[in-house]
């Protein structure tokens, strides 16, 4: 029978992503802190719809806001690895990447009592070492790459990519890759951001973004017998009033289209069962 899955995921970064961009003065920090308010609203909404979601929380956020993180765990949601700081792994030297990975893992074990099953890199930019790190720590899946829109696949390591030569494919691993997309992420659509890297205009009309998000699921439903879309939200982004309204509408529209809501850990387990 056809089965079409929607995964709601929340990157609970608070101020960590802004500070990683060098925005560490009181105003941008307070902007990130609104994420704690947004997280509470989101958890209320998920509870009202009976949905379990996947939350990716940097270690610095777990240590800073333990009460908010404990509520996520208490209400039965998945906690995934999202680094220690929000500095992308591709920008870290090998020793620091390994150290931050281990520190973040420890913070999650202390929070939940168990090791996370999945990893999502800050800013979706892994290094050529990250897959090995994930595998060496025994995690089951990654959700940082974009090689498909609605079909998980097994991640490769060791690709050789040069601008002036054909790509040489590396080894296919046993790590499930659950693909994501910037188009299904709230941040680029909504967040106005000035930094040394330039200007992100954001602030798009929420109804238009909602229309796109629903259309992607509708297309998957028409063209795939089995598939899964991963929606990515940030509590300090989606938690604003008019955006919470479209999150409610998205959940209700997906429900009406027959979506099955799974965590990413549940999805990777189902995918493995289909291909093995």
Torsion angles phi and psi, residue 92, rounded to 5: -105, 145
pLDDT < 50 regions, the chain: none
Give residue 203's pLDDT. 77
The CB density around residue 80, as the number of other CB atoms within 10 Å, is: 26
Q: What is the pLDDT of residue 276?
A: 82
pLDDT of 270: 98
Q: What are phi and psi of 34, to 5 degrees?
A: -60, -20
Reference 239, options 193, 202, 187; nearest CA is 187
pLDDT at residue 24, as a whole number: 94
pLDDT of residue 197: 67
Please, what are the domains in the chain? 3-275 (3.20.20.370)
Q: How far is CA 215 from CA 47, 143, 211, 234, 243, in A?
A: 25, 22, 6, 21, 18
pLDDT value of position 196: 65
118-119 and 141-142 beta bridge pairing:
parallel
Q: For residue 32, give Cα distances in angstroms to 24, 164, 202, 203, 246.
A: 10, 41, 16, 16, 21
- Indicate left, alpha or beta for 14 from its phi (over 0: left) and psi (-120 to 50: alpha): left
pLDDT at residue 76, rounded to an integer = 98
The number of angstroms, rounded, from the C-alpha of 7 to the middle of its chain's C-alpha atoms is: 10
Class of residue 262 by CB neighbours under 10 A (exposed 0-12, middle 13-18, buried 19+): buried
Q: Is 259 helix (H, G, I), strand (E, B) or coil?
A: coil
């Amino acid at each position: 029978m056809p089965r079409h899955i929607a995964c709601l995921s929340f990157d609970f970064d608070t101020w960590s992503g802004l500070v990683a961009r060098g925005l560490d003065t009181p105003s941008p920090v307070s902007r990130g802190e609104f994420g704690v308010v947004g997280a509470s609203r989101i958890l209320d909404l998920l509870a009202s719809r009976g949905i379990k979601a996947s939350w990716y929380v940097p270690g610095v956020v777990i240590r800073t806001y333990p009460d908010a993180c404990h509520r996520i765990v208490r209400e039965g949601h998945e906690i995934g690895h999202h680094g220690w700081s929000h500095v992308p792994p591709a920008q870290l030297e090998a020793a620091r990447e390994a150290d931050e990975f281990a520190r973040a893992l420890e913070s999650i074990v202390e929070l939940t009592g168990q090791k996370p099953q999945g990893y999502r890199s800050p800013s979706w930019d892994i290094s050529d070492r990250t897959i090995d790190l994930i595998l060496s720590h025994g995690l089951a899946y990654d959700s940082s790459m974009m090689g498909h829109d609605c079909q998980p696949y097994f991640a490769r390591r060791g690709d050789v990519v040069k601008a002036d030569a054909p790509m040489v494919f590396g080894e296919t691993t046993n790590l499930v890759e659950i693909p994501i997309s910037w188009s299904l992420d709230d941040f680029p659509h909504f967040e106005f951001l000035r930094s040394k890297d330039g200007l992100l205009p954001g602030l798009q009309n929420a109804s238009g973004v909602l229309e796109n998000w629903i259309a992607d699921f509708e297309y998957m439903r028409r063209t795939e017998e089995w598939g899964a879309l991963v929606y990515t939200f940030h509590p300090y982004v989606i938690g604003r009033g008019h955006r919470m309204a479209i999150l409610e509408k998205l959940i209700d529209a997906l429900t009406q289209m027959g979506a099955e809501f799974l965590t990413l850990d549940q999805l990777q387990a189902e995918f493995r069962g289909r291909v093995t």
